[in-house]
Chain A
Amino acid sequence: EIVLTQSPGTLSLSPGERATLSCRASQTVSSNYLAWYQQKPGQPPRLLLSGASSRATGIPDRFSGSGSGTDFTLTITRLEPGDSAVYYCQQYGNSPHIFGQGTRLEIK
């Protein structure tokens, strides 16, 4: 099964800065079926991107995704305090649809 490794584990940035989150797969993700989620404490996850780069409904264009094959990136520009959360990548190209372990983003 595919293993997803996210880095860094924790990211601490200031409002207005840019965050770059990485998700690396142990094997090629079929059809670039890679999604990103944001989870805030006490809430279910929220879909940000699917197909590696397609924003979900209502997601601002400050959130963008790139990559293919085994290396994927979530970029968040113009950070806001509300972006503090844990971010997960997930591949859904092959069963099981594994999640990465998450990156915690802290806004100073």
Chain B
Amino acid sequence: QVQLVQSGGEVKKPGASVKVSCKASGYTFNHHGITWVRQAPGQGLEWMGWVSAYNGDTRYAQKFQDRVTMTTETSTSTAYMELRSLRSDDTAIYYCARVFGWLIPSGGMDVWGQGTTVTVSS
């Protein structure tokens, strides 16, 4: 079946970096994009950005532009999201999700990973 499986939870100190992986299976990886969304405790959903699994093009939310890198590795059907210079308010669940459209995101997010909890604490 179509699924996205994310890496395990992480605990990081302020100023560190985290890299979350998202392994896809059950579909042709480079026919879709991957979006990353985060959700702080008790809060709503926040769109972080999108990466094309076809050509690696990215679109980032302005808020994260300087601190985030989203990549894909087609040989392993895996997407990655690295967030640098972590702060306590980066504590959240980070989700990857499949998006229709391989050159531009042109659909809703129809398959979601289980989420990765990232805790930033000194």
Residues on A close to B: CB < 8 A?
1, 33, 35, 37, 39, 44-47, 49-51, 56-57, 86, 88, 90, 92, 95-102
Contacts and interface: CB of A to CB of B under 8 A. Distances in A.
A92 B45 contact: no
B16 interface: no
26 contacts: A33-B106, A35-B108, A37-B45, A44-B95, A44-B97, A44-B112, A45-B95, A45-B97, A45-B109, A47-B108, A47-B110, A49-B108, A50-B100, A56-B108, A56-B110, A88-B44, A92-B99, A95-B50, A95-B59, A95-B61, A96-B61, A97-B35, A97-B47, A99-B45, A99-B46, A102-B44
Interface residues of B, number: 25
A75 B2 CA distance: 28
A24 to B, nearest CB: 16
A86 B114 CA distance: 17
Q: Say what secondary structure dominates the interface of chain A.
A: loop
Contact of A99 (B44, B50, B113): B44
B79 to A, nearest CB: 15
Nearest to B50: A97
Given A33-B106, A92-B105, A45 B45 contact: yes
